[in-house]
Structure 1
Amino acid sequence: MTTAKGALDGVRILDFTQMMLGPLCTQTLADMGADVLKVERPGKGEWMRSMPMIGEFVGGDSAAFLSFNRNKRSVAIDLKNEKGREALLDLAKSCDVVVENFRTGVMDRLGLGYDAFKAANPKIIYASGSGWGAGSKMAEKGMPGQDLLIQAQSGVMFNTGRRDDPPTACGTPVADFAASQALAIGILGALIARDRQGVGQKVETDLYSATLNLMGQENFAVLNQDITLERSTAGVASCWNDAPYGAHPSADGWVAIAMCPLAKLADILGDADLAQMDPWAERDATKLRIDLSTQKRTTADLMALFEAADVWAAPIRDSAAAMKDAVEDEPSRLVEMDHPKAGKIHAIANPITLSETPVRVTRVPPQVGEHTDEVLTDLLGAERLDSLRKNGALG
């Protein structure tokens, strides 16, 4: 096992996050060595723990929680308890970053907003992730900032699927993911600014802005080319790509073809007339004509043809097949952890590789309040821990 320090060794983060946006952000930083203190409700913990995935739990917790909370220490403190809030502000004196993703205004009402933490630690970096962004029209209306609603409002759902289908959501929470990584990047930038310029600051992002940015190329076209994006009737997978670009049936499954000159594809598939079609003006008809050829061959036969001709193509497989491949052939894409209740569990590894300061897994996702005594004793002292417990701040 490597003894090299992580890139963020020595950085401590006070983490008030929940759901996916915030927890994935702080896990990304924890994997790089940050000491992340996850603040949870005494007894119950973050409410994501109790949300079953497909009706089931893993070791008593949701798979969603376990996916985004490794390498953290759990500290259970009641945010509604005055002494508990005072302790959190005191903890911030030994922290570099505070991260939260409550609805806009919640932390301020609790007395735990940026100004309160800045008073406790002038160089603190206070990172906030919200649904719509502070001061935005949707935030002022009180509209919930949730991934599906963001996909609905941003255009993602109307850009996905076929023209005659209902608006189609992506198969994973893309808004949460985009915002989580934007927030992590913002925190890293603020840490560099603090070390070089001596300033703390507030970092903000929101699901809506991050999702609009995720669709930057499509939105640029709408803004600058006076166009309306339209989905393909036949199933071309992008509103602004010509054919081929999408899923094509084979005799035993499906293949994806991502861009190929029609003349070349016509030669491979043995359909001379295909080369005469206009891949944009006739993109739906082109897509359907390609289907007629691909469905006559097995996926393996098609892939052999495409690989030999250097066509950008891949078999379409489900998540179970992708995970089986990772387990059997590419275990470096996964991490294995010993969970105290579930036994050995596997998770997707951090996608970042650093040659000199490697990312690593040092802690399984914590039990609620597992590290309360450890953290408070180390940072605030044993007497303060006893006082907080007597005052009901720890549940």
Structure 2
Amino acid sequence: MTTAELPATDTPLALDGIRVLDFTQMMLGPFATQILADLGADVIKVERPKVGEWERGLTFAGKLVDGDSAAFIAMNRNKRSVAIDLKSADARDALLKLARTCDVVVENFRPGVMDRLGLGYEDFRRVRPDIIYCSGSGWGQRTKYAQMNRPGQDLLIQAATGLALNTGSAGDPPVAAGTSICDATGALTLANGILAALLARARHGIGQRVEVDLYHATMAILTQEISAMVNHGIEFTRSAAGIAQPWLSAPFGIYRASDGWIALAMGDLSAVAEVFDDATIADQDPWSDRDAIKRRLDELTPHRSTDDWLAGLLAAGLWAAPVRTMKDAVDELVADGSPMIVDIEHSSGRPVQLVGCPITLSETPWRQRLRPPTVGEHTAEVLGEVLDEDELERLREAGSL
């Protein structure tokens, strides 16, 4: 058994028998294909020779994990890596030959790149007519911003969709989310699209092209806010007092306690008035008076501890929770033995922890089978399934591997 493998079990995996040819990089594609890999798909990650995909070198706080980015190892377990030069005609032919054994192709280059390489949808469809070919992008394949060759990156999408300007208080600068929310949303949407296409092929015998982009996926998660805006005929503005979302009423928000912070979501103002011992709150309107209510609660909450407030709020049926750090949340998961935090061995031999798959299946649970691969770790193994040794040697001699 290699260090990349874990012991096999007899437990079936939901996507056993599905093979994915993965040309993706950064988060949009790799996070999506890791979900497929966690559920049992054989995901073959195609990378540049020697250096691999761009995100391998992305530092967090200026640091790498034994030469790998924390982001890379977070999104590339259960995959096999093939390192090959996409600009080589022989390499292209080898990949198209490999594609005959694949169910899905996924890429997230800028629109047009794969076509220019001879690896577009029509190229793959010629060798496998029922192929599912999924393209992820920042702005879509044919939109005006795609035609303008605009860079599609998480922060830029937060800015362009209105998401950043929805966050924070009136008068403050727009606030970016504390994670790559658009990339993650796009990745989950991408995985859903691929699964839907696989089901359609199983039911109807057809392959197809799937397209997902960050801009439209982010607009989709703004569905309730956009619906409220367009159907009420007004554009909501951010609360001057810091109500956490511009379309919601008091008491929604984050409040300082004497020893930390609490979050208070929806709740009847009469119950809020009782917990905070201020009868005037019950007489106010939760929308038109929301800033006044927020400011009054901001005055009251510092006088008691987080635990004291939570006990009273929860007993009154109000929706409240402590505001914790990520470390607090992770430490609790580890202490509880949650499968959401998994221990693996990095290629260097160093033990590392990763976030597990969030999908629970009772009969076909996800399983960690392979650690995140080194660049090209499985090139000979994978290509050897479709090429003979002479063909592999020609690729080596040409510098394509």
Give TM-score, length-normalised by structure 2: 0.96
- Structure 2 gap ranges (5+): 1-7
| Partner residue of 1:156 out of 154, 159, 163 | 163
CA distance in 2, matches of 1:307, 1:223: 35
Cα shift at 1:199? 1.0
* Residue in 1 that maps onto 2:46: 39
Cα shift at 1:29? 0.3
* 1:115 lines up with 2:119 in the alignment: no
Q: CA RMSD in A?
A: 1.1
SS in 2 for 1:295: helix
* 1:170 lines up with 2:193 in the alignment: no
1:220 maps to amino acid: S
Deviates more, 1:220-229 or 1:377-386: 377-386
SS in 2 for 1:42: coil
The alignment of Structure 1 onto Structure 2 pairs a total of residues equal to: 394
* Residue in 2 that maps onto 1:78: 85
* 1:27 lines up with 2:27 in the alignment: no
* 1:214 lines up with 2:221 in the alignment: yes
CA distance in 2, matches of 1:326, 1:226: 44
Aligned ranges for residues 177-192 of structure 1 at < 5 Å?
177-192=184-199
* 1:14 lines up with 2:14 in the alignment: no
Cα shift at 1:380? 2.5
| Partner residue of 1:250 out of 236, 247, 257 | 257
CA distance in 2, matches of 1:103, 1:80: 16
C-alpha distance after superposition, 1:48-89 (max 9, x if no partner): 001101100012100111111000000000001111111111
C-alpha distance after superposition, 1:247-293 (max 9, x if no partner): 01101111000111111111111111221221110101101111222
CA distance in 2, matches of 1:4, 1:329: 24
Aligned ranges for residues 185-200 of structure 1 at < 5 Å?
185-200=192-207
CA distance in 2, matches of 1:110, 1:281: 58
Aligned ranges for residues 60-71 of structure 1 at < 5 Å?
60-71=67-78
2:300 maps to amino acid: S
CA distance in 2, matches of 1:304, 1:340: 47
* 1:384 lines up with 2:391 in the alignment: yes
* Residue in 1 that maps onto 2:323: 316
Give TM-score, length-normalised by structure 1: 0.98
SS in 2 for 1:127: strand
Indicate if the aligned counterparts of 1:81 and 1:392 stay in contact, CA closer than 8 A: no
* Residue in 2 that maps onto 1:277: 284
CA distance in 2, matches of 1:168, 1:352: 30
SS in 2 for 1:288: helix
SS in 2 for 1:375: helix
* 1:343 lines up with 2:338 in the alignment: no
* Residue in 1 that maps onto 2:363: 356
1:236 maps to amino acid: I
Indicate if the aligned counterparts of 2:88 and 2:400 stay in contact, CA closer than 8 A: yes
* Residue in 1 that maps onto 2:143: 136
Indicate if the aligned counterparts of 2:50 and 2:375 stay in contact, CA closer than 8 A: yes
CA distance in 2, matches of 1:194, 1:133: 24
CA distance in 2, matches of 1:277, 1:229: 20
SS in 1 for 2:399: coil
Cα shift at 1:135? 1.2
Indicate if the aligned counterparts of 1:59 and 1:342 stay in contact, CA closer than 8 A: no
CA distance in 2, matches of 1:383, 1:34: 29
* Residue in 2 that maps onto 1:300: 307
Cα shift at 1:342? 5.4
CA distance in 1, matches of 2:105, 2:213: 16
Indicate if the aligned counterparts of 2:347 and 2:373 stay in contact, CA closer than 8 A: no
Cα shift at 1:310? 2.5
C-alpha distance after superposition, 1:275-333 (max 9, x if no partner): 12211101011011112221110111111212222221000011111111112124322
Residues 381/366 of structure 1: CA separation in 2 closer, same or farther (3 Å cut): same
Indicate if the aligned counterparts of 1:376 and 1:382 stay in contact, CA closer than 8 A: no
CA distance in 2, matches of 1:78, 1:103: 18
CA distance in 1, matches of 2:73, 2:300: 44
| Partner residue of 1:268 out of 255, 275, 278 | 275
C-alpha distance after superposition, 1:87-136 (max 9, x if no partner): 11111000000000011111111111101111111111000001101110
Indicate if the aligned counterparts of 1:253 and 1:299 stay in contact, CA closer than 8 A: yes
- Structure 1 gap ranges (5+): none
CA distance in 1, matches of 2:134, 2:72: 20
CA distance in 2, matches of 1:152, 1:145: 11
2:66 maps to amino acid: G
CA distance in 2, matches of 1:324, 1:130: 35
SS in 1 for 2:351: strand
Deviates more, 1:2-11 or 1:84-93: 2-11
C-alpha distance after superposition, 1:114-167 (max 9, x if no partner): 011111111110000011011101111111011111111001011011111101
Deviates more, 1:178-187 or 1:300-309: 300-309
Cα shift at 1:340? 2.2
Indicate if the aligned counterparts of 1:9 and 1:34 stay in contact, CA closer than 8 A: yes
1:243 maps to amino acid: A
1:301 maps to amino acid: D
SS in 2 for 1:346: strand
* 1:291 lines up with 2:298 in the alignment: yes
Cα shift at 1:387? 2.2
2:194 maps to amino acid: I
CA distance in 1, matches of 2:397, 2:349: 33
SS in 2 for 1:379: coil
Indicate if the aligned counterparts of 2:330 and 2:341 stay in contact, CA closer than 8 A: no
* Residue in 1 that maps onto 2:97: 90
Residues 288/330 of structure 1: CA separation in 2 closer, same or farther (3 Å cut): farther
* Residue in 1 that maps onto 2:5: none
